[in-house]
């Protein structure tokens, strides 16, 4: 029997790298779409780079998407590419809309034109709930996005549902709450804190400047969450699912755990800085993933404390190896 083929946009990102590893372990042929850049940014995928096919394409370029899908004829397409950093969405709102909103339509149109039997996964987000209308948030909770990023993702979510209903595509939207790992970008708060704490422990920094310490997030482990993406595309019918741990913690608690792992008191080092506050904040997110548990049989394995400790330990090791 020939191998199943999956196209992953955003393969160089945190989730793309874990998903590609997961699919390779399931014996998929993995095609990863990468943007051309003047220097390679394959840090997260270099350990399996030779096991996947990397092809150049961009969410801004319809022809590149059409050509890739036409040439490789994947059975499944995972659209993970996006401008994913919330603060950048205020400084580059139009570009964020082009990548994160319209980019989804470009991928869906390419699928519709080449082969409507291809199964499609859209990387939606708890940021769509924004100023939350219900606690905890589930699939039926109304959206109230609080950033240009959140607004763009609401478009991506609804165009996925619209193409499912208009063209009968197998298109699923995963509403994933924050998920982290040692491969998380350094600008996101978990990694900023774990890396910052490790640098302070090693005498490489003396303070850590952060924004709002009171906002709360439902943080899970990226390695667990990519399995849920795959499960969504193995169902008899396409649908939308919340993926979350059901626990919520503040940035202050995150600091306590990360610095505590290194026997440090975060209050001696963390400074609040207006530069890192947002024009509009999402104060609290906590998800109800009971539908994913019931239908997909999915549950998170790694919880908040363990996750943060894994990240601190990985940062300590990486910084020590660099010395």
Active site residues: 125, 127, 149
**93 touches ligand G4F (CB under 6 A):** no
CA-CA distance, 304 to 229, in Å (whole number)? 20
CA-CA distance, 60 to 100, in Å (whole number)? 10
**82 touches ligand NAP (CB under 6 A):** yes
Pattern 265-294, ligand G4F, x by CB under 6 A: -----------x-x--xx--x---------
Query: Among 4-12, 46-54, 123-131, 303-311, which window interacts with ligand G4F (CB under 6 A)?
Result: 123-131
Residue 249, phi-psi category: left (phi > 0), alpha (psi -120 to 50), beta (remainder): beta
Residue 194, binding choice from ligand NAP, ligand G4F, none, Cβ under 5 to 8 Å by partner class: none
**Cα angle vertex 196, ends 179, 225, to 5°?**
10
Of residues 63, 67, 59, 143, the one with CA closest to residue 102: 59
Query: Among 88-96, 157-165, 204-212, 223-231, which window interacts with ligand G4F (CB under 6 A)?
Result: 204-212
In this complex, which beta carbon is closest to ligand NAP, that of residue 176 or of residue 228?
176
**251 touches ligand G4F (CB under 6 A):** yes
Residue 10, binding choice from ligand NAP, ligand G4F, none, Cβ under 5 to 8 Å by partner class: ligand NAP
In this complex, which beta carbon is closest to ligand NAP, that of residue 120 or of residue 269?
120
**211 touches ligand G4F (CB under 6 A):** yes
**245 touches ligand NAP (CB under 6 A):** no
* Contact assessment for residue 161 and residue 173, using Cβ atoms and an 8 Å cutoff: yes
Shortest distance in whole angstroms from residue 18 CB to ligand G4F: 14
In this complex, which beta carbon is closest to ligand NAP, that of residue 15 or of residue 240?
15
CA-CA distance, 112 to 190, in Å (whole number)? 38
User: Which of 5, 15, 89, 307 touches ligand NAP by CB under 6 A?
Assistant: 15
In angstroms, the Cα distances linking 30 to 25, 162, 196, 242 are 11, 27, 35, 25
Shortest distance in whole angstroms from residue 82 CB to ligand NAP: 3
Supply 301's token pair.
């394995």
Task: Give φ, ψ of 229 to 5 degrees.
Answer: -60, -50
Secondary structure of 287-304 in HEC code, one letter for each residue:
ECCHHHHHHHCCCCCCCH
CA-CA distance, 221 to 308, in Å (whole number)? 9
* Contact assessment for residue 60 and residue 103, using Cβ atoms and an 8 Å cutoff: yes
Residue 210, binding choice from ligand G4F, ligand NAP, none, Cβ under 5 to 8 Å by partner class: ligand G4F
H runs (alpha helix) in 78-210:
86-91, 93-96, 103-114, 148-167, 189-201
Query: Among 37-45, 47-55, 205-213, 288-296, which window interacts with ligand G4F (CB under 6 A)?
Result: 205-213
**100 touches ligand G4F (CB under 6 A):** no
Chain residues binding ligand G4F by CB under 6 A are 84, 86, 125-127, 177-178, 187-189, 192, 210-212, 215, 217, 251, 276, 278, 281-282, 285
Chain residues binding ligand NAP by CB under 6 A are 9-10, 12-16, 35, 41, 58-60, 80-84, 99, 123, 125, 176, 178-179, 185
């Amino acid at each position: 029997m020939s191998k199943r083929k999956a196209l992953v946009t955003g393969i160089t990102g945190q989730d793309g790298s874990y998903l590609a590893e997961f699919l390779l372990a399931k014996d998929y042929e993995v095609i990863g779409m990468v943007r051309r850049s003047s220097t390679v940014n394959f840090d997260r995928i270099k350990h399996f780079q030779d096991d996947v096919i990397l092809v150049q394409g961009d969410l801004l370029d319809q022809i590149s998407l059409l050509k890739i899908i036409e040439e490789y004829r994947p059975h499944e397409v995972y659209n993970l590419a996006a401008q994913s950093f919330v603060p950048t969405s205020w400084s580059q709102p139009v570009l964020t809309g082009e990548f994160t909103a319209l980019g989804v339509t470009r991928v869906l149109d390419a699928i519709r034109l080449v082969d409507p039997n291809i199964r499609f996964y859209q990387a939606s987000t708890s940021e769509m709930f924004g100023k939350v209308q219900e606690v905890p948030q589930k699939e039926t909770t109304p959206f109230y996005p609080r950033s240009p990023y959140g607004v763009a993702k609401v478009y991506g979510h609804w165009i996925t549902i619209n193409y499912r209903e208009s063209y009968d595509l197998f298109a699923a939207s995963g509403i994933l709450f924050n998920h982290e790992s040692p491969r998380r970008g350094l600008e996101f708060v978990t990694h900023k804190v774990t890396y910052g704490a490790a640098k302070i422990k090693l005498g490489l920094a003396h303070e850590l400047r952060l924004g709002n310490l009171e906002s709360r997030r439902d943080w899970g482990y990226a390695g667990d969450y990519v399995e849920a993406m795959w499960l969504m595309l193995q169902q008899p019918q396409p649908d939308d699912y919340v993926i979350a741990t059901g626990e919520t913690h503040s940035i202050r608690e995150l600091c306590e755990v990360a610095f505590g792992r290194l026997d440090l008191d975060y209050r001696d080092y963390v400074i609040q800085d207006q530069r890192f506050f947002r024009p509009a904040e999402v104060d609290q997110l906590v998800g109800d993933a009971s539908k994913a548990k019931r239908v997909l049989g999915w549950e998170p394995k790694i919880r908040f404390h363990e996750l943060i400790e894994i990240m601190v330990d990985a940062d300590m090791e990486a910084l020590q190896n660099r010395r």
